Chain A
Amino acid sequence: MTALELNGISKSFKNDEVLSGLSLSAEQGETVVIFGPSGTGKTVLLRLISGIYDPDDGDIRLSGSSVIGIAPERRGVGMAFQNFALYPHMEAAENIASPLQARGGTSAQIAEKVRDIASLLKIDHVLSHRPKELSNGQKQRTALARALVAGPKILLLDDPLRNVDAKLRFEMRLELPRLLREFQSTTLYVTQDYKEAMALGDRIAVLLDGGFAQVATPEDIYRDPVNLEVAKLFGDPTINLIPGRIVAANGGTHADLAGSTIDLGAGYAHAAGREIYAGIRPEAISISQTASEGALPVELIAVTPLNERVVMLLHLADGTEFFASAPEEGAAGSREHGPAFASIDPAALLIFARDSGQRIQPQTSNRQTV
């Protein structure tokens, strides 16, 4: 059965429409990451599902039945807030016990469940602390424990790693999938961090302009984004977008990019003459000192380390800025400033229409065997 179903959800605040006609469904046990830049209504969406807000329009169904008009306390969802929202006047253990107390049970049973989940999340040693005595990492784990402890069917996580430092965020990112699997909850996970989205999501739903621009697996979203906006949200540095146009020549097509050309093969014949952005992920560009077939002449301006990789700032012939990245150790090619050549993996080339930002897909001809 579909564990969660959103049907044509709309929500406005004053005259500002945050969500318009949004739909999504999630299977039992699935983790769907709601991803998008800030201010796109990700948090609003979770609040609609938990019942803090009511939608202006549309239906929300949990386990098949509509929850519109049902109070938050009767929806049986678990939620972790970005700012933790711990009860400051209660100890960590009381915080975690709160959903269990609401559901009833002897205090011995409750205490045991609290201990179990606390040890799973490695906070058993701070159970008697008030929130103000907890570190940010411990607060975040307490909030997570509270959301999970009653084993909710639907788990809503609102950017739970936002307020913890990079190291803890990384640790938790590795730990979360196992935890979520253990609880079998259907999870909606909100984040602005594309790495979290790719690492945690069975599917990623990209929220832009009040609706989902694309809902797909991390692989599909990264390799096959539907439009420019979606493509730009993934990768660090983000995807290079080089303006140009598609030109048909010699039975094939190539892209005229800021004074350079890249061969596109036969697939883009249908788009000949169109103004485009060529989207190239930095890791799909390799830089070398020597010219090779199809490589673009570039100028290497600056090299900056980024974690264990290096990011190279390059200029095309007309000064257009773009980035290439490579592993630091044993990276092939030039690291010296000055003229160089950039070869681009044609399979990784994404073409977007300049006017609409929509992807232009290559058309594979019938004769070709794939």
Chain B
Amino acid sequence: MHHTSTAERILRGFLLTLVLLFFLFPIFWIFLMSFQTNEDILRIPPSLFFTPTLENYIALISGRLSTVAGDLDIAFMRNLWNSVLLSSLSVGVALILGVPAAYAFARFKFRLGENIAFTLLSFRFAPPLLVLLPLSLYFSELGLSDTYLGLVWVYQLIALPLILWIVRGYFEDISPDIENAYRIDGHSWATTFRKIAIPLARPGIAAASLLAFIFCWNNFVFALVLASADKQPVTVGALAFVTASGIQYGQVAAAIVLSVTPTLMLALYAQRYLVEGLSLGAVKG
């Protein structure tokens, strides 16, 4: 029953390959495209053999896009920087606000606590466009439109509920007795939070931060409506590749590769925190 026959093993390998192909092929293809000229890409039938070119990357980094219709200025690197800035600031603010809040929701049962937590989550339910219209009016009133501050604020709609709800679950999984024991040892509430709760919830905090970062990074509409050219992230900036003379597939591909890289590296770095088990064997192995 638990024996794996050779046929079974071969079948399993085959299926795994199939799944991998299905998921990895687009990424692989985009990677190849980023080293091709638009002509190579649009050639029919497509070919795996081409002369690789760094033209796309050079164009992105130098900020000059040459098309048939003439040269065009693009601010891709600036956009990339905006993405990094906006996403990390947003996650940072969400952590500062969300982790203590998550702890409070996990540990203390207070009046309307559940309702407040749910309201925060419900921000995610509303269609962003519905929120954005009135928001852009308020923002121009307050002078917040087209500022980093304003954008980071709006990005809390994405990051804060994520952090709050994920980290809350991790705090709830820590036995309160571990914290009680630390306090009885003679440590204050604040020390206990810092030395016990935070380290034990670290895998959760890492996971939530990574997710929040990716969601912020991938956000499109908020920045589209609320940010002008010099504040907009890559997602919005990519629109520039749709030019009068057609879509610049090569540059789009190179832009994708460049903009995926930071999140990918972050994910690889955070992985070790993610796989680290939450329960480190506090009670039983």
In the complex they form, whether A and B have CB atoms below 8 Å apart is answered with yes
Binding site for B on A (CB under 8 A): 47, 50-52, 71-79, 81, 83-89, 98-99, 101-103, 130-133, 136, 146, 150, 163
Given contacts A52-B184, A83-B282, 20 further A-B pairs with CB under 8 A are A50-B184, A51-B183, A51-B184, A71-B189, A72-B183, A73-B185, A73-B186, A73-B187, A75-B184, A77-B184, A79-B184, A83-B177, A87-B182, A87-B282, A89-B199, A89-B280, A101-B187, A102-B187, A132-B280, A132-B281
The interface size of chain B toward A, counting residues with CB under 8 Å, comes to 23
Binding site for A on B (CB under 8 A): 175, 177-178, 180-189, 196, 199-200, 279-285
In the complex, the chain A residue whose C-beta lies closest to that of B187 is A102
- B178 contacts A85, C-beta separation under 8 Å: yes
Q: List 30 A-B contacts (CB under 8 A).
A: A51-B183, A71-B183, A71-B189, A73-B183, A73-B186, A73-B187, A77-B184, A78-B184, A81-B177, A83-B175, A83-B177, A83-B283, A84-B283, A85-B175, A85-B177, A85-B180, A86-B282, A87-B178, A87-B282, A88-B279, A89-B200, A98-B182, A99-B186, A130-B281, A131-B280, A131-B281, A132-B281, A136-B284, A150-B186, A163-B283
When distances are taken between beta carbons in the complex, the residues of chain A under 8 Å from B283 are 83-84, 163
When distances are taken between beta carbons in the complex, the residues of chain A under 8 Å from B183 are 51-52, 71-73
- A98 contacts B200, C-beta separation under 8 Å: no
* Bound complex: CA A89 to CA B279 (Å): 10
CB distance from A309 to the nearest CB of B (A): 32
Q: Contact partner of A84 among B188, B200, B279, B282, CB < 8 A?
A: B282
- A72 contacts B282, C-beta separation under 8 Å: no
* Bound complex: CA A133 to CA B181 (Å): 20
When distances are taken between beta carbons in the complex, the residues of chain A under 8 Å from B187 are 73, 98, 101-102
CB distance from A214 to the nearest CB of B (A): 29
The 4 closest A-B pairs by CB, nearest first: A132-B281, A102-B186, A88-B280, A85-B177
When distances are taken between beta carbons in the complex, the residues of chain A under 8 Å from B189 are 71
Knowing A81-B181, A85-B177, A85-B178, the reply to whether A130 touches B280 (Cβ < 8 A) is yes
Most buried by B among A77, A88, A102: A88
When distances are taken between beta carbons in the complex, the residues of chain A under 8 Å from B280 are 88-89, 130-132
When distances are taken between beta carbons in the complex, the residues of chain A under 8 Å from B200 are 88-89
When distances are taken between beta carbons in the complex, the residues of chain A under 8 Å from B185 are 73, 98-99, 102, 146, 150
CB distance from A74 to the nearest CB of B (A): 8
When distances are taken between beta carbons in the complex, the residues of chain A under 8 Å from B196 are 87
Knowing A73-B186, A102-B187, A150-B186, the reply to whether A88 touches B282 (Cβ < 8 A) is yes
When distances are taken between beta carbons in the complex, the residues of chain B under 8 Å from A75 are 184
When distances are taken between beta carbons in the complex, the residues of chain A under 8 Å from B177 are 81, 83, 85
CB distance from B205 to the nearest CB of A (A): 14
- A88 contacts B284, C-beta separation under 8 Å: no
CB distance from A110 to the nearest CB of B (A): 12
Most buried by A among B180, B184, B185, B188: B184
When distances are taken between beta carbons in the complex, the residues of chain B under 8 Å from A89 are 199-200, 280
- B184 contacts A72, C-beta separation under 8 Å: yes
When distances are taken between beta carbons in the complex, the residues of chain B under 8 Å from A78 are 184
CB distance from A133 to the nearest CB of B (A): 8
* Bound complex: CA A79 to CA B181 (Å): 7
When distances are taken between beta carbons in the complex, the residues of chain A under 8 Å from B188 are 71, 73
CB distance from B197 to the nearest CB of A (A): 11
In the complex, the chain A residue whose C-beta lies closest to that of B283 is A83
Knowing A89-B199, A131-B280, the reply to whether A73 touches B184 (Cβ < 8 A) is yes
CB distance from B3 to the nearest CB of A (A): 32
* Bound complex: CA A101 to CA B182 (Å): 11
When distances are taken between beta carbons in the complex, the residues of chain A under 8 Å from B178 are 85-88
Most buried by A among B185, B189, B200, B284: B185
CB distance from A62 to the nearest CB of B (A): 13
When distances are taken between beta carbons in the complex, the residues of chain A under 8 Å from B282 are 83-88, 131
* Bound complex: CA A356 to CA B43 (Å): 97
* Bound complex: CA A322 to CA B188 (Å): 55
- A85 contacts B181, C-beta separation under 8 Å: yes
* Bound complex: CA A86 to CA B181 (Å): 8
* Bound complex: CA A103 to CA B199 (Å): 22
